[in-house]
Structure 1
Amino acid sequence: MNILIANDDGVFAPGIQALAHALKPLGRVVVVAPESERSGFSSALTLDRPLRPVQISEDVWAVNGTPADCVYLSMNGLFDFEFDLVVSGINSGANLGDDVLYSGTVGAAFEGRLMKHPAIAVSLSGSNVRSYEHPQAYAQAAKWVHDFIANGLPILPPRHIFNINIPDVKEIKGAQITYQGRRAQSKPITSHVDPRGRQVYWIGLAGEAVTEPQPASSHIQSDFFAVSNGYVSITPIQMDATNYAVLDDLHALVNG
């Protein structure tokens, strides 16, 4: 199996290094990642300048572009062979609920949506995961991803990917299939005046998870619920965001 690994934290981030090490027993592992952090770039492609892939070591490349650029290049001419699977991560921090709209980790995985196997976006959720002195958490998460792939990936419909969030806990309780939760409105922006007298703004922090009551008959919880209770969250997400349930009503309304 040929496995492509990308991320949005940069080619030297601890998460991608742990993931590459853990997946090598499964086949050829090639890392193609941004040369520096590109968080929040979603599925953006660079169209206004050329991209420059630089080989750092055997099967490790850095690109002066976005996470999606890295996967796009890898699948469209950078190599003379094809990949069977794209794994994006391990992201330093969760990608839960509405985060998937902005996440470069998820964006890179979506570029691999046409692979032989469903692409995977992997994030590590916890308060300490952004520390480069916290390698054991990434190693544990990478081992979980290895086992998930080695045991045989579940089949998804075309153009779907897995969004996986792994809690930073001493012992993972297990895994849950989850739906994408929701966040409350983001925290307000903060404004400052820079040393040259110009007004600048910082984007506010993401909103908290919204608690949604579940029907008594349902056993599927949100991704927030799973991770907060020590479980790996596995959420199937799709490229097609059409709301088919309202198409007929809207058609009748517009053409009425």
Structure 2
Amino acid sequence: MNFLLTNDDGIDAEGLRALERAFAPLGKLYVIAPDQHLSGCSHTVTTDRPLDLVEHNKNQYSLTGTPADCVRVAIKHLQLPIDWVISGINHGGNLGVDVFMSGTVAAVREGVMHGIPGIAISHFRNGAVPFHWENAEKAVNRLGSELINKPIDRQSFWNINLPDSEHLKADTTYELAPLEPEPLPVSYEQRDGRLHYVWGNYVNRPRQPETDVGVCFGGKISLSLVNLQTKNASIP
């Protein structure tokens, strides 16, 4: 099985290295990741400037573009024989409606648009507690090997959020959970005549216990099936 690995934290991110170690036993790896940190870039694609594609090692590239660009280049330019797009392991959670702003998730969504299934993987961090990449690698290997052998609707993808390092073990259980609909509270403050985003208290964000935020914050791995299909709405 052939996997395209990418992320939005950049080609040198520790989470990407952990993802490589997790999926290496499962098949052949192709890595194309942004040459810089692009967290929160959502589904931005580059059409107004050239892109530089640099091969660092065999089947490992960096791109001066976004995560969605990386997937497009892999499919349309390099024409790689990809069976799954795997994005992450993100340095921080991508929970609830945050998936619509996440570059990590956008890479997988881009793959699904081209008929390739995918898994987006993130590691929630509680405050300044370091990430636990070794346990993340083991948990992702275990869960990834299960998911790639499950049938999945061609309009859907998996979104995984690992809990914080205090709760994450190699054998931490997962729970299927819908996306939390309540957004992260945001605010701004004015300084020197300009508006500055005020980073909210992520761990105190609104949540219901059965949603992905509630599950992940409760110490389990949250697993959400996200569908791209929209249903026709009747006009009153």
**1:235 equivalent in structure 2:** 224
Match for residue 68 of structure 2? 68
**1:50 is aligned to 2:50:** yes
Contact 1:85/1:115 (<8 A) preserved = no
In the alignment, the residues of structure 1 paired with residue 128 and residue 32 of structure 2 have an alpha-carbon distance, to the nearest angstrom, of 22
Task: State the match for 2:7 in structure 1.
Answer: 7
Tell me the matched-pair count.
Answer: 230
Aligned-pair distance for 1:41? 1.1
User: Who wins on radius of gyration, i.e. which is larger?
Assistant: 1
TM-score, normalised via structure 2 length: 0.88
SS at match of 1:113: helix
Kept in 1: contact 2:159–2:224 (CA 8 A): yes
Map Cα deviations across residues 11-69 of structure 1 (whole Å, 9 max, x no partner). Answer: 00000011112211111111100000011111111011011110112221110011100
Contact 2:33 2:70 in 1 (8 A): yes
Residue deviations 1:47-92, cap 9 Å, x none? Answer: 110111101122211100111001110011224x310111000000
- The answer for the alignment partner of 2:194 in structure 1 is 200
Q: Which residue of 1 aligns with 2:36?
A: 36
Paired with 2:25 and 2:76, the residues of 1 have a C-alpha distance of 25
**Unaligned residue ranges in structure 1 (runs of 5+):** 194-198, 214-220
Q: In the TM superposition, what are the counterparts of 1:202-217 in structure 2 within 5 Å?
A: 202-205=196-199, 208-212=204-208
Q: Work out the CA distance in 2 between the residues paired with 1:7 and 1:31.
A: 9
TM-fit CA distance, 1:98 = 1.5
Letter in 2 for 1:84: D
Q: State the 1:146 CA deviation.
A: 1.6
One-letter amino acid of the structure 2 residue matched with residue 86 of structure 1: V
**What is aligned with 1:97?**
96
The 8 Å contact of residues 83 and 117 in structure 2, kept in 1 or not, is answered as no
* CA-CA distance at 1:6 after TM superposition: 0.5
When residues 175 and 191 of structure 1 are mapped into structure 2, their CA distance, relative to the original with a 3 A threshold, is same
Distance in 2, Cα, partners of 1:130 & 1:57: 32
What is the match of residue 84 of structure 1? 83
Alignment partner, residue 189 of structure 2: 190
Q: When the two structures are superposed, what TM-score results if normalisation uses the length of structure 1?
A: 0.82
For residues 99-248 of structure 1, the aligned pairs below 5 Å read: 99-113=98-112, 118-127=117-126, 134=131, 137-153=132-148, 154-168=150-164, 169-171=167-169, 173-184=172-183, 186-193=185-192, 199-205=193-199, 208-212=204-208, 221-240=210-229, 242-244=230-232, 247-248=233-234
Shift of 1:114: 5.1
Q: Measured at CA, do residues 117 and 152 of structure 1 come closer, stay the same or move farther in structure 2, by a change above 3 Å?
A: farther
SS of the aligned residue for 1:112 comes to helix
CA distance in 1, matches of 2:29, 2:10: 17
Cα displacement string for residues 176-202 of structure 1 (whole angstroms, at most 9, x for unaligned residues): 000000334632112222xxxxx3332
Moved more, 112-121 or 33-42: 112-121
RMSD of aligned alpha carbons:
2.2
- Where structure 2 has 5 or more consecutive residues not aligned to the other structure, the ranges are none
Cα offset, 1:231, TM superposition? 0.8
